[in-house]
Structure 1
Amino acid sequence: MSNDREGDDASASPVTAGENTGAQSVDRAVTVLEIIARAGDASVSEVANIVGVHRSTISRLLAVLELRGMVELAGARGRYRLGLNILRLAEAVTGTLEISTQGVDACTALSALIGETVNVAVRQGDSAVNVYQAEGTGAVRVDSWVGRRTPLHATSSGKVLLAWPHLAPAVGLESGFARFTEHTITDPTLLRTELDRVRAEGWATTLGELEDGLNAIAAPIFGANGTVIGALSASGPAYRWSAEVMAEHALDVVAAADSVSALMGYRG
């Protein structure tokens, strides 16, 4: 009986070893792609040093990846960059991603943490439109904003969507803006200064600028190509969601937005 068991183990061992080796190769190949994606291009030696294996191992992996169109030579410098087949795969994934769906878990978790309402918004023309909302746990909550168009200059999400140059309108920052409360920024010069601050700090705030007594803070959501595709915001009544409290939770809002960015394919 013992001989039979030993025979069974011996026959199973090569399969297990092969599976482990195959999994390791796949893991290394993905790591190589991630390294090249972060760097833009890289040499065999650079990749080998980061992965911690011999150059010949990385050279073989790159040869296979090049054969499959996942990487290509970057000129005649002996460096590799991502290939066109990566773009084809990325486009197939991006087509199935919806920012409102990908933002559910992040919004729910942030709302539970801070007790306030959290939204995901995208830009439509000259407005910000909320596409998902997670309700806060506070006794007094803000109304549902899903599907409502809100002005870019008077909301935290709108400021985020205006702050990055590729999203800013060709015109619009040259003339005045509608006033909703006494706190609304209507002067183009002041708004430009505000947008500079948003880019520098990584988040935007509004203090009663759209509705008296309603404050909000928002951070950008990036797409796979590094452009801002939306904003994640947390809003609440001013007596509870003050400027000081928002500042304490600014990094929580940014982290939530970053997690959605990662799900949308952003690797920055």
Structure 2
Amino acid sequence: MISVLDLIEASSSGLTFDQMLDALKLTRSTLYRYVKILSEAGLITSLSDLGYTLGPRVAELDYKMRTQDPLIVASIPIMAELARAVPGVVLLCRRYRDKVLCVHQEGSSVTFSSGYERGRDRPLLRGAASRIILAHMHTRAISRLYAEREAEFKEAELGDSLAKVRATLAQIRQRGWDVSEGQVTAGVTGIAAPVFDSEGAIVGSLSITIGKASMKSDEISRVAERVTFCAGIVSNAISRSAAP
């Protein structure tokens, strides 16, 4: 049933029942049952001459997430303060499958336009906001990703062997923050720190994108210290909310 949602989500326009039937290779009766359940739940809807699209329940769930997710609720005031202190765009990201998803954004910049507003995914191997998450993922997950995407790791300058990739990620992890220049958006610098849950597992990243390149190392360090401090506040906040 989730595959029906995935297919509709990936489509740039509506899909007819027959188009979904061809793509999913389900029996007609099974697909009909899935479509009926999803439609009744409001997760998909159909429009005349357009086919099936995501339904209004998705918008309702997005609102509930923005107002009830402990991570987002804890992060909003911290992100707003960071954006006031350091001009730029502050992002809260979470790992989602084998990519990183922006779940909240604060701040703005007149020097560049950020294409990673809420709900937009980011490449897992590029950009500080993603790489800091990657650096804290389990070694088994890293090994699996490297086996599947070896060329991408090399292109992202993370290493041309699994041992080198692990060494690069260990350096990022030990430093406690990451910085990248122009890896996702040209002419900008991204600085990110990890966010952890109450058990010390990585749940996401807090980052700021600054509209300039070739920043001096001392300036990067000052911003990184502030971003790391803010990420630590968020980690502590969600840990307290999880406590019995």
TM-score range, shorter chain: 0.5 to 0.7
Displacement of 1:177 in angstroms is 0.5
Taking the aligned partners of 2:125 and 2:210, their CA distance within structure 1 comes to 18
Taking the aligned partners of 2:216 and 2:198, their CA distance within structure 1 comes to 33
User: TM-score under structure 1 normalisation?
Assistant: 0.56
Displacement of 1:122 in angstroms is 0.1
Q: In the alignment, does 2:93 pair up with 1:121?
A: yes
Taking the aligned partners of 1:109 and 1:98, their CA distance within structure 2 comes to 18
Aligned length: 168
Structure 2 partner of 1:232: 206
1:113 partner amino acid = A
Structure 2 gaps of 5+ residues are: 1-67
Question: Which residue, 51, 56, 75 being the options, matches 1:103?
Answer: 75
1:111 partner amino acid = A
Structure 1 partner of 2:62: none
Aligned with 1:134: secondary structure? strand
Structure 1 partner of 2:138: 166
Question: Which residue, 202, 205, 211 being the options, matches 2:179?
Answer: 205
Q: Is the 8 A contact 1:120 1:132 kept in 2?
A: yes
- Sort the Cα spacing of 1:207 and 1:191 in 2 relative to 1 into closer, same or farther, 3 A: farther
Q: Is the 8 A contact 1:106 1:256 kept in 2?
A: yes
Taking the aligned partners of 1:139 and 1:247, their CA distance within structure 2 comes to 23
Displacement of 1:141 in angstroms is 4.0
Displacement of 1:244 in angstroms is 4.6
Aligned-residue sequence identity (percent) comes to 21
Q: In the alignment, does 2:151 pair up with 1:176?
A: yes
- Sort the Cα spacing of 1:192 and 1:178 in 2 relative to 1 into closer, same or farther, 3 A: closer
| Residues 1-268 of structure 1: pairs in structure 2 closer than 5 A | 97-136=69-108, 138-145=109-116, 146-166=118-138, 168-174=141-147, 175-177=150-152, 184-185=156-157, 187-189=159-161, 191-239=165-213, 244-265=218-239
Q: Is the 8 A contact 2:102 2:121 kept in 1?
A: yes
Cα deviations across residues 118-147 of structure 1 (Å, max 9, x unaligned)? 1100001111111011114x4324325121
2:152 partner amino acid = F
Q: Is the 8 A contact 2:94 2:100 kept in 1?
A: yes
Q: Is the 8 A contact 1:166 1:227 kept in 2?
A: no
RMSD between aligned residues: 2.6
Structure 1 gaps of 5+ residues are: 1-95
Aligned with 2:72: secondary structure? helix
User: TM-score under structure 2 normalisation?
Assistant: 0.61
4+ long deviations beyond 6 Å = none
Larger radius of gyration: 1
Aligned with 2:125: secondary structure? helix
Taking the aligned partners of 2:216 and 2:209, their CA distance within structure 1 comes to 10
- Sort the Cα spacing of 1:178 and 1:195 in 2 relative to 1 into closer, same or farther, 3 A: closer
Taking the aligned partners of 1:242 and 1:141, their CA distance within structure 2 comes to 20
Taking the aligned partners of 1:236 and 1:118, their CA distance within structure 2 comes to 9
Cα deviations across residues 67-89 of structure 1 (Å, max 9, x unaligned)? xxxxxxxxxxxxxxxxxxxxxxx
Q: Is the 8 A contact 2:93 2:100 kept in 1?
A: yes
